[in-house]
A = this chain, B = another copy of it.
Amino acid sequence: MKKASTAMSSTLRCLKVLELLAEEPFELSFTDLAAKLEIPKASAHRLCTTLIEANLIVQEPVTRRYMLSSHALWVGSGYLRHSPIYRAAFFPMQELARQVPGTVQLGVLDQDYVLFIHSVGYSGAPHAFADVGLRRPLNATASGKIFLAGMSQEDVERIMAKSAEKYTSSTITSIVKMKQEITQVRKMRYARNVEELLPGYWVLAAGVGRQENSPAAAISLTLPLGEFSPENEITISALVTDAARKASLQLGPNGAGRSMGTWP
């Protein structure tokens, strides 16, 4: 027995194509696409035609491969234009980047990942290469730990169960280890990541949000490992949490924080 959702199945299938293209590291040839989605060629062709007509994908004229269009970026970036968080964090991040020579990033939750939506400064970390739209697992990032610390026990367990990939030898993949980490984060009000994602770099992050335990975003600072020391951690964590606090205030104590509209 099928559960009849009220959504349009044909359209959902079409949007799967977008999803697939976003996931794939490279452009996709047409037959690949049909194969990966396990749909007949004729149908896949119709879906692609539709997305082309909507200007969301284009096909490279020579290779005939499909890829996301610049217009797709524009549509997606509408999220930034509407996002109170982005606006609230903009200047605090800038200030933080001026104080410490590293990469300051803003991450939000997207499904079970941290999605980085803004980045200022540059530490040299490859981390920060594709700064907007980069997505990372929660367990391997400082920002991710901030979100995990705001989640229920079950959610944490579910996510950790799927987090198998070890980026470095320090990546946390054990549930019990992560739970310890989480209580630490809740106590200290910031999260730390030392070479758990990228060798040679350490990261501190703090949560942004109206209420204490459910962060809407996280501000993180990535620095070369050379500058890592207990004393430094104290001063720098103060700066990061301060930036996060300022962003939280900017967000407004109530539900609003007005979106930014057209600028200027």
Interface residues of A (CB under 8 A from B): 5-8, 10-12, 14-15, 18-19, 21-23, 25-27, 46-47, 49-50, 52-56, 62-63, 67-83, 86, 90, 94, 108-111, 115, 117-118, 120, 122, 126-127, 129-135, 198, 255, 259-264
Contact: A129 with B75, CB < 8 Å? Answer: no
Assembly CA distance A157 to B12 (angstroms):
39
* SS of A interface (majority): mixed
* B8, A46: Cβ atoms closer than 8 Å: yes
**Across the interface, do B78 and A263 meet the contact criterion of CB distance under 8 Å?**
no
Most chain-B Cβ atoms within 10 A of its Cβ — which of A21, A46, A74, A120? A74
Say yes or no: A263 contacts B50, CB within 8 Å. Answer: no
Copies in the complex: 2
The reply to whether A71 and B129 form a contact with Cβ atoms under 8 Å apart is: no
Query: 16 other contacts beyond A72-B76, A129-B260, with CB at 8 A cut-off?
Result: A7-B52, A12-B53, A18-B75, A19-B54, A21-B82, A25-B260, A26-B261, A70-B115, A71-B115, A73-B77, A73-B117, A74-B110, A74-B115, A81-B130, A118-B132, A129-B264
Of chain B, the residue at the smallest CB distance from A120 is: B122
